[in-house]
């Protein structure tokens, strides 16, 4: 059983940056895809960035050009660099891992709060 633990959340002003990290208790090399979701109250969890074991990335339109996902299989970490943060980026951010190309996400972190406020 792999555990995912997010860190790096906090309070930031609009236009600022934060770097989220997701540390896995075991090897992430077996996971085909790692991703970052976010969720605001009363809304569904939204996939905002993902990266495959080959390094292919995908981003939601809402974060494209501002967020960058990276993966370090040697360190068993996945990071999300968030720049030019906006009020609407305020959410709880979750790390997730999926064994297969498609389908169910197998593992989730507990989430880390990001608040963008002046």
Q: pLDDT of 84-100, one tens digit each? A: 999 999 999 999 999 98
Statement: residue 61 has pLDDT above 90: yes
Map tokens 């968030």 to a residue. Answer: 82
Beta-bridged to residue 38, according to DSSP, are: 46, 93
Statement: residue 34 has pLDDT above 90: yes
Q: What pLDDT was estimated at residue 5?
A: 96
């Amino acid at each position: 059983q792999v555990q995912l633990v997010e860190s790096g959340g906090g309070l930031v002003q609009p236009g600022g940056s934060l770097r989220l990290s997701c540390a896995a208790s075991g090897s992430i090399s077996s996971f085909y895809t790692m991703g970052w979701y976010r969720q605001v109250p009363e809304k569904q969890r939204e996939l905002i960035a993902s990266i495959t074991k080959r390094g292919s990335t995908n981003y939601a339109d809402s974060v494209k050009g501002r967020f960058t996902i990276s993966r370090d299989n040697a360190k068993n970490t996945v990071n999300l660099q968030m720049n030019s943060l906006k009020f609407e980026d305020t959410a709880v951010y979750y790390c997730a891992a999926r064994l297969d190309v498609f389908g169910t996400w197998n593992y989730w972190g507990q989430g880390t709060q990001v608040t963008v406020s002046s």
